[in-house]
Amino acid sequence: MTDAPAAPLRIRRRPRLAEAVVEDLVKAIVTETYPAGTALPPEGMLGDMYGVSRTVIREATMALTEKGLLVSQQGRGTIVREASTWDMLDPLVLASLFQREDGLAYLDNLCTIRSLLEGAMASKAAKLRTSETIAELGCQMEKLKKLIPHPAAYVHEDVAFHDIIMRMSGDKLSKAVIDGLQSEALRNHGYSGKLNVDHVRATHAAHERIHVAIIEGDAEAAGNAMRDHIETSWARRRAARKPQR
């Protein structure tokens, strides 16, 4: 007698209605429509606000609790928690942080993290370079050079340039952190900035310095060039955000 085949593992997914409520409530909490320490409206009221059942609201509040945004308290209801308990790397939380009034500070934090991690990865890439990875990076540089007159296309391939270097470093954990943080930031217009050819030319010159350092196996120069590139590029984009007086 043979054993019966194991039943396929079923991954429980929240209903789409609950996902939509979660997204809206995450934004409302993170942007402080519901400040820390306050209670969310009762289930019935939330259900009426969103036009969904109490079951959907329970699913949504459970998801928010898992993200560290809410806690149930006897006699008080569902309470918004302090920001120190939030899962800051959760995509919905992260996207909402960038939309806050102080969202610029979080973009500053992102660029600091990128500078530290990508600088270290560029150094590793210079040490671990191979003929194959050097060829891949060289092809990407040629592609970027042709796109200088086309800022929107250049920015897309700019991300690929950084991705190649991160892969060359072999530092998968740091790459995962950067990918997770930057994927949400790139959706924010304030992070990408207004595209223009002059900015692209300056960016390409910085890429060339990084490229040369990696080819030459100069780990220190590669790390310094990457950090300078990230910090200078963000400073330029950040300055362009300031309102005119």
Q: How many domains does the chain have?
A: 2
Segment 73-79 long-range contacts (CB within 8 Å, at least 24 positions apart): 76/39, 77/39, 77/40, 77/42, 78/39, 78/40, 79/37, 79/38, 79/39, 79/40
Is residue 53 a contact partner of residue 46, using CB atoms and an 8 Å limit?
Answer: no
**Last residue in a domain, options 88, 113, 134:** 88
In a shared domain, residues 76 and 128: no
**Last residue in a domain, options 25, 58, 88:** 88
In a shared domain, residues 115 and 200: yes
In a shared domain, residues 223 and 139: yes
Q: Is residue 237 situated within a structural domain? A: yes
Segment-wise mean pLDDT, segments of 10 residues, the chain, 245 residues:
48 65 96 95 93 93 96 92 94 92 91 96 98 97 96 92 98 94 78 82 97 98 98 89 52
Cα→Cα distances 141→168, 180, 204, Å: 15, 24, 9
For 39, phi then psi, to 5°, come to -95, 145
In a shared domain, residues 69 and 110: no
Cα→Cα distances 12→62, 63, 78, Å: 13, 12, 24
In a shared domain, residues 143 and 237: yes
Q: Is residue 206 situated within a structural domain? A: yes
**Last residue in a domain, options 56, 88, 120:** 88
Q: Is residue 193 situated within a structural domain? A: yes
Residue 96: both structure tokens together: 């909402």
Instruction: Name residue, tokens 């942007």.
Output: 31
In a shared domain, residues 78 and 119: no
Q: Is residue 202 situated within a structural domain? A: yes
Q: What is the CA radius of gyration of the chain?
A: 23
In a shared domain, residues 172 and 77: no
In a shared domain, residues 114 and 227: yes
Q: Is residue 134 situated within a structural domain? A: yes
- Structural domain that includes position 67: 16-88
Q: Is residue 5 situated within a structural domain? A: no
Give exposure, 211-239, as e/b (b: 16+ Cβ within 10 Å). Answer: bebbeeebbebbbbbbbebbeebbeebbe
CATH classification of the domain holding 124? 1.20.120.530
In a shared domain, residues 68 and 147: no
In a shared domain, residues 82 and 102: no
Q: Is residue 159 situated within a structural domain? A: yes
Q: Is residue 147 situated within a structural domain? A: yes
In a shared domain, residues 167 and 213: yes
